[in-house]
Every structure is written in C-alpha cells, then in structure tokens.
Amino acid sequence: MSPIESPLRVGKIPYANLYPVYRSLEQILPPGSVTFVEGHPRELNRMLREGTLDVSPSSSIEYACHPDRYLLVPEISIAARERVMSVLLLSNRPLDALPEGSIAMTEASDSSVVLLEIMVRRFLRRENPLVRSPLPPEEALKRYPACLAIGDAAIRASLGRVAPFVTDMGSWWRRETGKPFVFALWIVSRAAAETKGPALRSFVRTLLSAKTLARESISEDAGIPIGPDWIPVDFRRDYWDNLSYDLSPDEREGLTLFYGLAAGIGRIPGAPALRFLIPS
C-alpha cells in the first residue's frame, strides 16, 4: 500500500466466535494497512451498506438483501455444522409448549432473526409475533415466553442458566435440514473493490492466511483452548470444535437453502448467486 492511500476500513465483531481470527490478523497484517471499526453484526451491516466500511464479517442475510452492492471473500464464513452454542432461543417452556405470546429477538443480529422466523413459521408451525427487544435475556424472559440471544450475551446466558429451556439454533437447523448454517460471511463493498482493488485483494490473502493460523492456534501448547478468560476452558474447547470458519460446498448448500427459505417467507426477493472477490 502506498503512503498516500488510506487504510482499509475493516469491520470487527467483538464476539468470542471471531476472537481467533482477529488475534491472527493482528499478528500478520502490515502495520497501518487497516483501521478496525468495532460493532455488533447489525451495526456493521448498516455501515457496509452505507459505504463507511470496505470489508466486514456481516450477517449472511445482508448479502442476499443487496447482492448488487457486494462481493464475498471466498473460503471463509462463520458457520455451525452441528451446534453453534452462541445463537440460542431461551425459553420458559419447551418449544412445543410455548404460549402464543410474542418472542423477543436480539437487536444485534439480522441472519439469526430471519433464521428464527423460518424455524418458527415453517418447522414449528407457530404464528407467535417476533419482536426486537433491547432487554438482556434474563429481563426479556420476565416479559416474554422466549427470547433469541446471540454472541457473548448468549454464551453468558447459557453459562448463567438464565432459562430452563435452551434451543441451540444451529442444532435445530441441522436437525430439520441436515445442513450447516452460515451465520456470517466476509462481505466486500463493490464500490471499494473498484477503488481499492489491490489493497482489498491483499487483505483477502492475509485474511485467508489468518483463518489457517487461527485454526492451528485454537489449542495452545499447554492444551488450553484460546479465547476470553471469562469463558470456561471446557466450554471453549466444545465451542471451537463446533465452529466452522470454512465456506466449503456443504456450507454453500446450507447457505443456498437458507436463502431459498428466506425468500419463501418474503425476507429477500430470491436466492442470489454467490459472487466472490478473487484474491489473485
């Protein structure tokens, strides 16, 4: 990158699920090449859409809402092949015994709320209203029969046993479809690709190297899985075992199915083609 070029603006989700990738990125990125902009997924979606980010891990549904504005980084996602452990439907009763009241949903996510709508409408065959709520899970469950939590809030709620019933959204999706679920993709602004193409391609190569390094370093020499200290070691070990950073044919099939079902409930016009920024 030449001295006159501004750093790439790269979104940063401050959740445990991306801890290994950002940790690796910060080790190998050239100094001054990027500016990280922190925000939860829905905030980063908006900034990417408005052109204030060049590339970001963002909700997979965001790409499907505006495929003409974006390209994807190949070979990388945030996905669950079985359990996800950080996208949870917390409830006071079992799913098949939920009352007809509204279900609260996090304000921090877009993909997970569409996933919940698909699961409730198509597979649970319920018409409960789904409402966004700023309340933390323990407060939401005092007002609503169930609430959807994501990221660190979901992990803390699980560890704190704030709900008598916990449905892992990755497991539920897998049980009904047999496919992995792709919660987030690394999305590139097409406008940025036109004006910052070489810098973005260089970043993509570094990101894919960081993915490999992250996977290799998930277990440290001492046998203690990396991650925030507030998460117990055994939980971390299971978490990393279940998390996928890949975008293999299996993940792509799950993503395409998700898009088709999202279109079926009117959340997107249709399942878009997956178009990538090639790093070569």
What CATH number does the domain containing 73 carry? Answer: 3.40.190.10
- Statement to judge: residues 46 and 95 lie in one domain: no
- Statement to judge: residues 147 and 13 lie in one domain: no
What's the whole-model pTM score?
0.93
- Statement to judge: residues 170 and 236 lie in one domain: no
- pLDDT computed for residue 262 by the predictor: 97
In the chain, the number of structural domains is 2
Nearest to 52 by CA among 4, 97, 9: 9
CA distances from 129 to 50, 90, 104, 139, 154 (A): 30, 16, 9, 18, 21
- Domain containing 170 equals 87-177
- Enumerate residue ranges in the chain where pLDDT < 70: 1-5, 219-224
- pLDDT computed for residue 251 by the predictor: 97
Query: How many residues are present in the chain?
Result: 280
**143 assigned to some structural domain:** yes
- pLDDT computed for residue 6 by the predictor: 84
- Statement to judge: residues 93 and 158 lie in one domain: yes
- pLDDT computed for residue 64 by the predictor: 97
Where do the DSSP E strands lie in 8-145?
8-12, 34-38, 55-59, 70-80, 87-91, 103-105, 130-132
What pLDDT digit, counting tens, does each position of 161-194 carry? Answer: 999 999 999 999 999 999 999 999 999 999 999 9
**240 assigned to some structural domain:** yes
**249 assigned to some structural domain:** yes
What pLDDT digit, counting tens, does each position of 249-272 carry? Answer: 999 999 999 999 999 999 999 999
**225 assigned to some structural domain:** yes
- Statement to judge: residues 54 and 170 lie in one domain: no
- pLDDT computed for residue 222 by the predictor: 53
Going by the DSSP 8-state scheme, the letter that residue 148 receives in this structure is E
- Statement to judge: residues 120 and 39 lie in one domain: no
Q: What's the token pair of residue 18?
A: 């991306």
- Statement to judge: residues 75 and 194 lie in one domain: yes
- pLDDT computed for residue 279 by the predictor: 85
**279 assigned to some structural domain:** no
**CA–CA separation, 2 vs 6, rounded Å?**
9
- Statement to judge: residues 99 and 161 lie in one domain: yes
- Statement to judge: residues 185 and 173 lie in one domain: no
CA dihedral 157, 181, 263, 277 (to 10 degrees): 120
